[in-house]
Homo-oligomer: A and B are copies of this chain.
Amino acid sequence: MINLTQQSYIAGTWLAPQGSVFQAQDPATLDLLAQHHSCQQNEVEQALQAATCAFPAFSQTSISARAAFLEAIALEIEALGEQLLNVCNQETGLGIPRLTGERGRTTGQIRAFATIVKNSSWVQASIDTADAQRQPVPKPDLRKLLKPLGPVAVFGASNFPFAFGTLGGDTISALASGNPVIVKGHPSHPASNELFASVMDKAIAKSGMPKGVFSLLQGNTISLSIELVTHPLTQAVGFTGSLNAGRAIMDAVARRTKPIPVYAEMGSVNPVFMTHNALLQSGASIAQNLANSVCLGTGQFCTSPGVVVIQKNPVFVSLVAQGMDKNPRNLLLNQGIGKAFAQGVKQFLHYPEVNWVNSNNQALEPSIQPANIVLTASAATFLANPDLQHEVFGPATLIVECDNEQEFIAIAQALDGNLTASIHTTEQDTALVKSLMAELEQKVGRIIFNGFPTGVEVCGSQNHGGPYPSSSVASSTSVGIDAIYRFVRFVSYQDTPNNLLPVELQNSNPLNIMRRINGAFTTDPITK
């Protein structure tokens, strides 16, 4: 058992910050939990100085040492055993089964990054050999590979305290590519953050990594976040959370003397299109699966299906409403989310054309355990009111009823950027679906057939990112091994002596990795 002390962790040292007090809340009991203090400018400075000092040594660790470090992190997470699950459940109310699954996903992705590091091909080594005879000028020898950027600031999400939390995908992908990390711990689960810092303390010691490679700054102040992302030593930012918070960070970074990359994964309503034929064929099961997907995790997923587009079909709508009513009322993460959820639904209901179809005479009141809500609106109403595309974070979905399927295209064209879009269809709909896909490919990062966007597979072909506002850099993914391509940039070496080249670029290919040599992919060495 780890003895929790409500401290922050900076480069190997536990310390008690002196900033304002904050407390997480147990969603099940509404009890306030242990008092923490926010870090301030001084702690940001310490963490960044230490991370900057640690960077050269850490970025040059051997691939076996870095992979062993990642594997040690996974083992130490598992070694926390039930304490991690219980502490986090008290802070989040997500339930032990869900947290057990999320822990498995988290250690699984850590080990996947360890494997990628060992393989080493991720550095995208490229070599063009010299040609002294070339006319009109000799061709130089050029070789390039990806290198880490330096200290990365990570903001974890409240809704995935493990997989997108203190030791989630952002932190691990940054460490995997050789960057020190400073986590701003999410204030809604500080004790969980502290347990993860204890994991890092052990993993760093066991692997002999420089202590500055990781810091955890606890806090709930905006000033702490802004200090961290605007500090000159911060080289990049990884963020998962709301559009408002993400955009505030983007804007602060854009005002820096030296701007840096911000990889923010923000809101999404994940539209789901369902053809008339698909609902004819299997409307009942689609309705039930939709209801389950909306209610999963109390709707607190960035991939929760918030907008459903159908050709008018009252039977289907009522099946969805029944499915939602059958799902239990579950806990939200905190009272703030409960308040925002009620407020968000209320804003939709301000439009007289928006109906709450499963209201059952319930009043809409802020609650940490809200009703599961199905709204409907006509396509015309949806198209006329872009506000209806705002994400309502929680168990609600808006069914948009079209007069005919041709309206699907207009709706797709009117969509904002999203992480995903889904299409439920049959083989009879090919022409419609092709037109729809052509629009959706411009609006989203992932298109799903006959399924729902929740349950994000962690693999190389996953893309979890999409046009703004769903993410700040649509060309990157925050899930899957290709997330390693965010906190890196190419460095090219011209006519460099073999012994001074990074090992991945040396003639003999000592790591036996896949390289692009004069345009062709090969693991062959270069023989001169």
Give A465 to B490 CA distance when docked, in angstroms: 9
Closest-by-CB residue of B relative to A497 is: B449
Q: A514 at interface (Cβ–Cβ under 8 A)?
A: yes
Give A445 to B101 CA distance when docked, in angstroms: 42
Q: A202 at interface (Cβ–Cβ under 8 A)?
A: no
Q: A147 at interface (Cβ–Cβ under 8 A)?
A: yes
Q: A469 at interface (Cβ–Cβ under 8 A)?
A: yes
A451 interface neighbour in B140, B259, B437, B460, Cβ under 8 Å: B140
Which segment, of A32-40, A292-300, A318-326, A470-478, faces chain B?
A470-478
Give A494 to B303 CA distance when docked, in angstroms: 14
Give A250 to B490 CA distance when docked, in angstroms: 22
Give A482 to B514 CA distance when docked, in angstroms: 17
Given contacts A461-B126, A490-B477, contact A450 B495 (CB under 8 A): yes
Q: A280 at interface (Cβ–Cβ under 8 A)?
A: no
- Of A60, A450, A475, most B-chain CB atoms within 10 Å: A475
Contact B150 A442, beta carbon cutoff 8 Å:
yes
Q: Mark contacts of A96-118 with chain B using CB atoms, 8 A cut-off: 1 yes-contact digit, 0 otherwise.
A: 00000100000000000000000
Contact B147 A492, beta carbon cutoff 8 Å:
no
Q: How far is the CB of A265 from chain B (nearest CB, A)?
A: 14
Q: A346 at interface (Cβ–Cβ under 8 A)?
A: no
What residues of B have a CB within 8 angstroms of the CB of A445 in the complex? 489-492
**Residues of A396-410 contacting chain B, CB below 8 A:** none
Closest-by-CB residue of B relative to A427 is: B497
Q: How far is the CB of A513 from chain B (nearest CB, A)?
A: 11
**Residues of A407-442 contacting chain B, CB below 8 A:** 417, 427, 430, 433-434, 437-438, 441-442
What residues of B have a CB within 8 angstroms of the CB of A350 in the complex? none
Contact A519 B144, beta carbon cutoff 8 Å:
no
Contact A492 B447, beta carbon cutoff 8 Å:
yes
Given contacts A126-B460, A494-B447, contact A514 B521 (CB under 8 A): yes
Q: A315 at interface (Cβ–Cβ under 8 A)?
A: no
Give A261 to B250 CA distance when docked, in angstroms: 13
Give A489 to B457 CA distance when docked, in angstroms: 19
Q: A516 at interface (Cβ–Cβ under 8 A)?
A: yes
What residues of B have a CB within 8 angstroms of the CB of A451 in the complex? 140, 494-495
Q: A459 at interface (Cβ–Cβ under 8 A)?
A: yes
A-B contact pairs, 6 of them (CB 8 A): A101-B136, A126-B461, A142-B461, A144-B462, A461-B492, A514-B521
The 4 closest A-B pairs by CB, nearest first: A463-B492, A254-B254, A142-B461, A475-B489
Q: A56-B438, A150-B442, A258-B468 are in contact. List 15 more A-B contacts (CB 8 A).
A: A128-B460, A142-B461, A144-B462, A254-B254, A258-B469, A430-B499, A441-B491, A445-B491, A447-B492, A449-B496, A451-B494, A461-B492, A463-B490, A475-B488, A482-B490
